[in-house]
Structure 1
Amino acid sequence: MAPSDSNGRYGAGEAPGGLYRRRFIMSGQGAGSHSAHTNPRDGNGTLIVLLLITFINIAGFGIVIPLLPFYGETFGISAWQVTVLFSAYSVGQFIGEPLWGRVSDHFGRKPVLLFTVAAIGLSYVALAYTNSYYIALLLRLLGGVAGGNMGVTQAYVADITPPGKRTARMGLLGAAFSLGFMAGPAIGGLLVIEGIGTAGYRPPLLCAGFLSALAVLGTVIFLRESRVHINRAKRQQARIHEAILHPIIGQVLLTTLVATSAFSAMEASYALWAEARFDWGPHEVGLTFTMIGALAAFNQAVLAGKIVEKIDESHALAYGILLAGLAMFSQIFAPNGTVLILITALMVLGLSITQPAISGLISLASPPERQGALLGLNGALSAFARIIGPLVAGALFSIVSIDAPYIFAGLGMLPAAWLALRVGRRIRAQQRETQTA
């Protein structure tokens, strides 16, 4: 445990982030403590099962994402319409994240995960057989509604984890996500058959559906419900205005909105930009996304928790955002694909720190009966940002220049970093109030 420094940033004998465990809450209850709301029997074994299921599910998602721009082009549509197809999933997530978070707080995490993962798999299978852009758009939207379950998964981790380990375990969850995102593009790049139109993307889409079916089976057999003592009579709903007005959570949510908008603008245009600049195709983009997933998994599993232990969640968030923004802006100066990959690696290093820090901040701030809803709200804002970012990127790419989305993304990270630093100042101010009380 870290002792208090000379500036009094941490309390005596208190680790970085310890303030959240005492004061950083939205109600009079202890935030996120082990209580009757959680299953005390669950621990490392259940966490491993959840991580494996997350890996399998995200591998299916990862198969689709890097291929989507090329899949969209088989319909003979414009770059802007491709980004709309990309954004449709996020529109669905914007609807699904707060919905599933509240439902899981009331009925439990396991049934929600079962339903949503199964629905995602069905959307992949249907997408494999459509020949209509508009039907594909609808399927992406419905798949996004089902895919808005990340907040539920994070709430499950929070249910079975003591407050002091939450940010590190959120990092492990992020690592499972990244490993799935690493395996998925590699599988998709190998299975796609170029030159035969939409049908060439049927094998990777069906593989994604199969992986979702495996995740459903694993959830049924191995995953236990984490909220075994759900007190519905005393259940509280997380109100949006309460979260927004909260001096800490509101700032974290705004950071999510700004940073994710910037990142998603870059992400949505990456394949088209690499194609225009370096003549990359699905295979090169798929391998690059595989590298991104591997590096992000290592960073989140090994580095994120240690960085937070050395500083705190808010500073880790700010530094990660700044590094990612600098890398995004620098990508437009890459003279070749090798340098592009190195710069992308720096971006991944920054981004892989930010998500566990954000999830940890919100989880530590939330009482048990609101964790699913508040993490879902954060997911909804993230999804909303992934609607804005790709649409802006598509317009900038088509109208201004192919580099414009990267300039927008890099500059957009600056206000996000400033917001993260404000969170840290507010936390230290609250701690001083606590120490003088």
Structure 2
Amino acid sequence: MPIILFAIFIDLLGFGIIVPILPFLTLKYGGDAMVGTALVSIYSLMTFLAGPLWGRLSDRIGRRPALAATFLGSTVAYIALAFSSNLIMLFVARAMSGMMAGNVGIAMAAMSDLTDESNRGRAMGLIGATFGLGFAFGPFIGGLLGSVGGEPNIFLPALAAASFSCTAMFLTARFMPETSKHRSGEDDEESAAEAKKPLPHWSVVLKSPGQLALFAMFFITAVGQSICFAITPFWAQATLGWDQVKVGFLLAGVGLCVAAIQSLAIGPLFKKFGELKSLMIGASAHLIGCAILLFGPGTVTTALIAFPLVMSGLTVSFPALNSILSKRADKRLQGTALGFSSGMSALGRVFGPLAGGMAFAGYSANSPFFVVASTGAIAFIWALTEVRRLNSA
């Protein structure tokens, strides 16, 4: 488990390095907020298309080789990004990176292999904490490297990201054990018998009761989260006059909040309240943060209070929804199911930044956060409905 988490942290560190510099690089090459959010969306579109395929592949050949392959692909994509000198090259490089983002679903499947239902939620929380740490340190490093020379540049941040992905590939290939029981060579008789059977058709993961609504929640919560990450740099520049360095500090602080909640609070929260009620608690914090941002003054204090609440609140959905899904899915299809969840989240990250960019450009800097608030409200209502359905069953 530590090897999986560390490899994902290294890779997410590289991804986080790119986040604060892309909006400013878009402006440098003649784009606007709409083009910048489209640059985020192309990454997510390719993740949506490739995520389920990577998950299915990991069910067939094992988690370790599939995960190592995604890290190798990310290394190549970041090198291409380093030498991008116009918007077209940026879009091509980000599309390549998006195709390799199936490592998230594979890592969740590996963690599911290593845990049982009693500690599944905590394991998913640890992956969420790893994301938070990657986004905490990555934007901080990216903001500094991206300002070398006095103007936004992608060369040094992208090379740093490539080196991190290459390190993650080496760690995975060299030290990570195979976690899928029927691929590890350590099967008991029952697992060996199951391994000889052909994998069920992928469509099985969609046919359980309530499964389509569950996958829809991955899409909806990702819309809210992605708008936050895509619009925050533009909001900070328009409202507070911040540059990429200050935006990097803000995202780093939010990432630390997310990491603290995911690593320290998720396990006890799920144990005491369960995944669904914990999701309701997180959505409530998310809605409070949106209200502060929408109706409070456009000041640094508002940003420092609201953004951690907004992003940390709905981030509870990540481990909660994946824990619920992994418990409902066939053990032999964990990679497929979690690959689909990763794909649906990616689809939400396609539409989220585009919707946020249109609202930002067409109305005001605050208007995208009305959409963000609505996603938190939907998450709360769905979780409440599920709790009532299970209680009455």
Structure 2 length-normalised TM: 0.93
After TM superposition, give the deviation of residue 194 of structure 1 in Å.
5.6
Q: Establish whether residue 413 from structure 1 lines up as the match of residue 376 from structure 2.
A: yes
Q: Establish whether residue 201 from structure 1 lines up as the match of residue 154 from structure 2.
A: yes
| Match among 104, 110, 122 for residue 76 of structure 2 | 122
Is the CA contact (8 Å cut-off) linking 2:19 and 2:142 kept in structure 1?
Answer: no
Equivalenced residues, count: 381
Q: Establish whether residue 220 from structure 1 lines up as the match of residue 173 from structure 2.
A: yes
Give 1:18-33 correspondences, 5 Å limit. none
Q: Establish whether residue 78 from structure 1 lines up as the match of residue 47 from structure 2.
A: no
After TM superposition, give the deviation of residue 423 of structure 1 in Å.
2.0
For 1:148, give the aligned amino acid: G
| Match among 50, 53, 72 for residue 4 of structure 2 | 50
Once structures 1 and 2 are overlaid, which stretch shifts more, 257-266 or 174-183? 257-266
After TM superposition, give the deviation of residue 243 of structure 1 in Å.
4.2
1:171 aligns with 125
1:396 aligns with 359
Give 1:379-390 correspondences, 5 Å limit. 379-390=342-353
Is the CA contact (8 Å cut-off) linking 1:67 and 1:282 kept in structure 2?
Answer: yes
1:5 aligns with none
* Partner-residue secondary structure (3-state), 1:147: coil
For residues 9-53 of structure 1, what are the alpha-carbon distances to aligned partners after superposition, in whole Å with 9 as ceiling and x for unaligned? xxxxxxxxxxxxxxxxxxxxxxxxxxxxxxxxxxxxxx1111111
Q: 1:392 to 1:207 in 2, by over 3 A?
A: same
| Match among 322, 326, 329 for residue 284 of structure 2 | 322
Is the CA contact (8 Å cut-off) linking 1:251 and 1:420 kept in structure 2?
Answer: no
1:237 aligns with 201
Q: Establish whether residue 340 from structure 1 lines up as the match of residue 303 from structure 2.
A: yes
After TM superposition, give the deviation of residue 245 of structure 1 in Å.
4.7
Matched-pair identity in %: 30
2:186 aligns with none
After TM superposition, give the deviation of residue 244 of structure 1 in Å.
4.4
After TM superposition, give the deviation of residue 263 of structure 1 in Å.
2.5
Is the CA contact (8 Å cut-off) linking 1:66 and 1:282 kept in structure 2?
Answer: yes
Q: CA separation in 1, counterparts of 2:7 and 2:104? A: 12
| 4+ residue runs over 4 A deviation | 194-198, 242-245
Q: CA separation in 2, counterparts of 1:123 and 1:377? A: 23
Is the CA contact (8 Å cut-off) linking 1:252 and 1:420 kept in structure 2?
Answer: no
- Unaligned runs of 5+ residues in structure 1 are 1-46, 431-437
Q: 1:365 to 1:217 in 2, by over 3 A?
A: same
Q: Establish whether residue 62 from structure 1 lines up as the match of residue 16 from structure 2.
A: yes
For residues 405-436 of structure 1, what are the alpha-carbon distances to aligned partners after superposition, in whole Å with 9 as ceiling and x for unaligned? 01121123212221122222233234xxxxxx
Q: CA separation in 1, counterparts of 2:290 and 2:382? A: 19
- Bigger radius of gyration: 1
After TM superposition, give the deviation of residue 196 of structure 1 in Å.
5.9
2:57 aligns with 103
Is the CA contact (8 Å cut-off) linking 1:237 and 1:373 kept in structure 2?
Answer: no
Give 1:289-328 correspondences, 5 Å limit. 289-328=251-290
- Unaligned runs of 5+ residues in structure 2 are 184-194
For 1:290, give the aligned amino acid: A
